[in-house]
Amino acid sequence: MIEANERARDTARAHFDLARELEQRGTGSRLNQLRAQQELSTDDGLVESARLALYRAQEALGVLLVAGGPVDATDEPTFRIPEAQGSEPARPGAADRQAMAPAPILQIPASDVALLQRRTDVQLFAAGQHAAERVLRDSSKDYYPYLEGVFLPQTTYPAQFFVPANSWRFQLQMSVPLFDSGQRKGARAEREAALNIARATFLRATTQAAAEIRAAREAVQSAERGLASARAAADQAQQVVNIVNVSFRAGAATNIEVIDAERRARDTDTAVAVAEDTLRRARLELLTALGRFPQ
């Protein structure tokens, strides 16, 4: 933004110098000089506002880094976006792959399923579904007989004649459940309900994550096209400024046309800066949706 406003200010200053020179030679007018000076003053104010915004951003970065002062970025941030058929993610175990497999009703490309495995929220819901499945599978063990062991140490003080002072008892007891009034059946129904909830939660999370990835990829592509259009418009606007300035020197263009061309050039340069920031944000959001940010 500073570069765009400084470029507009330099163009306005050149226009103002020319208008003042023409007015001093008697071929210009005081009105044209004031118009050019007004545009120069406006650009000076925009430059100061952009510099203040930059300083505030540096101070905010310094606060985040606990630097005790303003901190500037040394280079343009680079967000490398993996392709749809990009590098292989970390391979989970067989149980995790089974738990993370999407439901048949969920139509997700295989490449996106592989990318979804990197997201911690999807991994959390997949682990919850896997745990619920395992608990349900273990419901049959409720019907197994179980063996209990009891160890009872005993000390008598003061010691008696017929009873030893120290003794212990170890007992084994096997129980075979036959009738429990439907308790085990009810527990299994609760576990099935918990599994259904876990599956629905995982399905919702996977669907949402896949939608976020698709939307983020589309946003990146749209931002790239928008940036290309903004840069082309800025280049065309600068060419218009150059042509109008030459025409104004030759007397074929008016002062209003020069000012209008300068403002359009400044606006298009500002649009380029906004489009660049939009593209950076879109790439960052895509990396976040892919589970690749932070690394």
**Per-residue pLDDT in tens (0 to 9) along the chain, 295 residues:** 999 999 999 999 999 998 888 888 888 888 888 989 999 999 999 999 999 999 999 999 999 999 889 999 888 877 877 766 543 433 444 444 444 444 444 455 566 666 777 788 888 999 999 999 999 999 888 888 888 899 999 888 877 777 778 888 898 988 888 887 888 889 999 999 999 999 999 999 988 988 888 899 999 999 999 999 999 999 999 999 999 989 988 888 888 898 999 999 999 999 999 999 999 999 999 988 888 776 5
**What's the N-to-C CA distance of the chain in angstroms?**
30
What pLDDT is stored for residue 121 in this prediction?
87
- pTM score > 0.85 for this model? no
CA atoms of 275 and 152, how far apart (whole Å): 78
CA atoms of 10 and 43, how far apart (whole Å): 9
248 contact partners, CB below 8 Å, separation of at least 6: 15, 18, 254, 255, 257, 258
Q: Is 104 within 8 Å of 76 (Cβ atoms)?
A: no
What pLDDT is stored for residue 294 in this prediction?
62
What pLDDT is stored for residue 84 in this prediction?
60
Instruction: Give the chain's radius of gyration (CA, Å).
Output: 37
